Amino acid sequence: MALQCGIIGITNVGKTTIFNCISNTKVDTNAFAFSATKSNIGVVQVPDKRLYELEKHQVTEKIVSTTIEIVDIPGLAKGSNKGEGVGNKFLGDIRNTDALIHVLRCFDNDALPHIDGSVDPVRDMETIDLELQVKDLESIEKKIERLKRAAKTGDKEALLGLDVLEKFRDHIGNFNNARSLQVKDDEKKYVDDLFLLTMKPVMYICNVDEKSAVHGNHYVESVRESLKGSSSEMLIIAGETEAEIAELENIEDRIAFLKDAGLAEPGVDKLVRTAYKLLNLQTFFTVGPKEIRAWTIKKGMTAQQAAGVIHSDLERGFIRAEVMKFNDFIALGSEHACKEAGKFLIEGKNYIVGDGDILHIRFNV
Ligand SMILES: Nc1nc2c(ncn2[C@@H]2O[C@H](COP(=O)(O)OP(=O)(O)OP(=O)(O)O)[C@@H](O)[C@H]2O)c(=O)[nH]1
Ligand SMILES: [Mg+2]
């Protein structure tokens, strides 16, 4: 199953606008609060300039990017945990995602009133966090009750679990997100089964007006300030500008538009790459005259598991992997040159694949 990144935030902050740019779809966006009634799922190509570097050294018929799934979830509001706005249902959609893209409104627009009366991205962030925290507390309390019953019968494991869950309850009860609690690896298992919403890795998107696309604005500064000391990433994106760029069919027009806006690449490209990292994913390549292709694996996967991403036969009949590092291949310019330089490696099934590895799997079924 593909890993999913969910776009969350208050209603009318530009989630669907950004989703449309990255997924090349045309879901209706409008200025009515809570007009969206279902989540949109898009398969999004992960932009990777390395594919075009590889093409310089290998003539090929086509280039295939790897993809991730992005889900655009309708806006939450204060009280969503009790069914306010469009409510509970969407908290369930968030539960199914593996990482979160939290969009914050950082633009003024008198024609588009804010649901809470004023533009204040830090307040919005806290509103959403609180909704998720309330949900998490519910799940934790339920499990605590269950474990308490088991602990009465002398179940040692239940006692250990209780200890960890109570730590989480106190932490989240003090308006913190689960992800910021430091716990030992062997303690994590007591909450893993709860799929806590505030445990999911998150990145913040400041949605700004066009003139703030490069340097941000005072709203962005307030977000930056509030994220000080946290490990979460923050990106600035001019949603409406990005939407205009995405409208342009012609690549030269796009480049000219980007240049005018002072951008080196579409902001959404960086967004998708960051989401990919957030999901703890990395890429390996296959390179040949028929196609040059990027494939997705989880960090830490072995050569045999990576072979299985291409085809189950390759995993089942795995013999060995021939590996070239991306940088070696680009620097030396060909497989032959890599061989001469001792940079063509023969690896077994337990080899841990590195980001950017060029693999050729030898197999026999
Ligand atoms: N000025 C300005 N308007 C924007 C920007 N991004 C989105 N909008 C407008 O804001 C309105 C809502 O945008 P959507 O993308 O539908 O917002 P949403 O967050 O998906 O809203 P819900 O699905 O209701 O939660 C639309 O009228 C957009 O044109 C922006 O960067 N600048
Ligand atoms: Mg929407």
pLDDT digit string (tens) for the chain, length 365 residues: 578 999 999 988 999 999 998 887 677 777 666 666 788 898 888 989 999 999 999 999 999 999 999 999 988 776 766 666 555 677 888 998 999 999 999 999 888 878 788 899 999 999 999 999 999 999 999 999 999 998 888 888 899 999 999 999 999 999 999 999 999 989 999 999 999 999 999 999 999 999 999 999 999 999 999 999 888 999 999 999 999 888 888 888 988 988 888 888 888 899 999 999 899 999 999 999 999 999 999 999 999 999 999 999 999 999 999 999 999 999 999 999 999 999 999 999 999 999 999 999 999 98
User: What's the CA-to-centroid distance between 43 and ligand 1, angstroms?
Assistant: 21
Question: Which of 7, 11, 16 is the best mutation target for the ligand 1 pocket, counting ligand atoms within 8 Å of the beta carbon and taking the most?
Answer: 16
Instruction: Report the Cα 324 to chain-centroid distance in Å.
Output: 28
User: What's the CA-to-centroid distance between 346 and ligand 1, angstroms?
Assistant: 52
Question: How many other β-carbons are positioned within 10 Å of the β-carbon of residue 270?
Answer: 16
Task: State residue 218's pLDDT score.
Answer: 97
Residues in CB range of 28: below 8 A, 6 or more apart: 16, 35
Task: State residue 225's pLDDT score.
Answer: 96
Burial group, residue 14, by CB count within 10 angstroms (0-12, 13-18, 19+): buried
DSSP 285: E
HSE, CB side, 13 Å, CA atoms: give it for residue 327.
2
Euclidean distance between CA atoms 125 and 16, whole angstroms:
18
* Residue that is written with structure tokens 């949109």 in the block: 40
Ligand 1 nearest atom to the CA of residue 17, by list position:
15
Task: State residue 32's pLDDT score.
Answer: 67
User: What's the CA-to-centroid distance between 35 and ligand 2, angstroms?
Assistant: 8
Residues in CB range of 56: below 8 A, 6 or more apart: none
For the chain, the maximum distance between any two Cα atoms, rounded to a whole number of angstroms, is: 71
Residue 162 tokens, joined: 């209780």
Which ligand is closest in space to the CA of residue 14?
1
Q: Which of 292, 298, 264 is nearest to 279 (CA)?
A: 298
Residue 154 tokens, joined: 């002398």
Which ligand is closest in space to the CA of residue 85?
1
Rg (CA), the chain: 23
Euclidean distance between CA atoms 279 and 202, whole angstroms:
9
User: What's the CA-to-centroid distance between 90 and ligand 2, angstroms?
Assistant: 12
Ligand 1 nearest atom to the CA of residue 207, by list position:
31
Q: Is residue 38 in contact with ligand 1, taking CB distance under 6 Å?
A: no
SS3 state of residue 64 = strand
Task: State residue 23's pLDDT score.
Answer: 83
DSSP 58: S
Q: Is residue 30 in contact with ligand 1, taking CB distance under 6 Å?
A: yes
Q: Is residue 319 in contact with ligand 1, taking CB distance under 6 Å?
A: no
Task: State residue 340's pLDDT score.
Answer: 96
User: What's the CA-to-centroid distance between 32 and ligand 2, angstroms?
Assistant: 10
Residue 74 tokens, joined: 């309708």
SS3 state of residue 172 = helix
Euclidean distance between CA atoms 225 and 204, whole angstroms:
13
Question: Which of 107, 112, 237 is the best mutation target for the ligand 1 pocket, counting ligand atoms within 8 Å of the beta carbon and taking the most?
Answer: 112
User: What's the CA-to-centroid distance between 12 and ligand 1, angstroms?
Assistant: 5
What Cα–Cα distance (Å) separates residue 100 from each residue in 35, 62, 132, 192, 226?
Answer: 21, 32, 12, 17, 18
Euclidean distance between CA atoms 256 and 273, whole angstroms:
23
Task: State residue 115's pLDDT score.
Answer: 79
